[in-house]
Amino acid sequence: MAKNRQSRDKEATQKKILQAFGRLVARDGLHRVGINAVAREAGVDKVLVYRYFGGVPQLLSALASQHPLWPSFEEVIGTNALGAADLSAEEIAFRFLTGLVRELRRRPLSLAVLRAELVEKNPLTIELSRAREKWAEDMLEYLESAGVPADSIAPVAAILSAGLLHLLLNPSLSDAFGGVDLKSDDGWKKMEEVVRRIVRALIRDIS
């Protein structure tokens, strides 16, 4: 016969399940992915999903343990906190905002988590929010230790990063405003220039 239905390979099956879960979450969003859908997508009986993982939350944390949801300071800024100390405040702010976008853009799972947090309030999303907030605090601490006066710019950073995040989550929004296509790399390049302008103006204003 062409192929055994039962491959009897635990590790391979687990991998199939995890990959299917990741695909589905990236495509449909966290809030509409359930055990049934995962099992279907993986071509596997749902009992196996329960056996090997336990449930959707465990699937997510298994995936997150392979590829962390949130980028590190180094990934975002392009250098560690020590190296960042040599940069100007403007440069750090610019790199922070654009780096954030760059890193999140290659993490569809993280974007799905952000969307889910906006829309669903359950033990899983609450836990996820907590983790993300802790990460944001850490980022801010790093910024401070790199010499950025956090007190004065924290709320500004909140608005700007929230804005970029929102455009990231909802590309259609920007069409109406800027006519910039944020689904394309070129669109984001242009958006980076805008960020540069904003940051420059704000920093000049403070000092």
Partner DNA sequence: GCCATAAGTCACTGGTCGGTGATTTATGTC
Partner DNA sequence: GACATAAATCACCGACCAGTGACTTATGGC
Contact set with a second copy (CB under 8 A): 29, 31, 115-120, 129, 133-134, 136-137, 140, 154-167, 169-170, 172-180, 190-191, 194-195, 197-198, 200-202, 204-205
Instruction: Choose between 12 and 201: whose C-beta lies nearer to a second copy.
Output: 201
Alpha helix (H) ranges present in the chain?
10-28, 35-42, 46-52, 56-66, 73-77, 81-84, 89-105, 108-119, 123-145, 150-169, 172-178, 185-206
**142 phi-psi bin (left φ>0, alpha ψ -120 to 50, beta other):** alpha
What's the min distance (Å) between Cβ of 133 and a second copy? 4
- Angle at alpha carbon of residue 125, lines to 124 and 128, rounded to 5°: 90
What, of a second copy, DNA, none, does residue 205 touch, CB below 5 to 8 Å by kind? a second copy
C-alpha 116/C-alpha 121 separation (Å) is 8
What, of a second copy, DNA, none, does residue 86 touch, CB below 5 to 8 Å by kind? none
The number of angstroms, rounded, from the C-alpha of 135 to the middle of its chain's C-alpha atoms is: 11
Contacts (CB under 7 A) with DNA, residues 56-95 = 56
Binding flags for DNA, 24-43, as an x/- string (CB under 7 A): ----------xxxx------
**Closest to 193 measured CA to CA, from 175, 177, 206, 180:** 180
What, of a second copy, DNA, none, does residue 64 touch, CB below 5 to 8 Å by kind? none
Instruction: Choose between 49 and 157: whose C-beta lies nearer to a second copy.
Output: 157
Instruction: Choose between 9 and 141: whose C-beta lies nearer to DNA.
Output: 9
**Closest to 185 measured CA to CA, from 108, 72, 106, 110:** 106
Q: State the residues that interact with DNA by CB under 7 A.
A: 4-10, 12-13, 34-37, 44-48, 50-51, 55-56
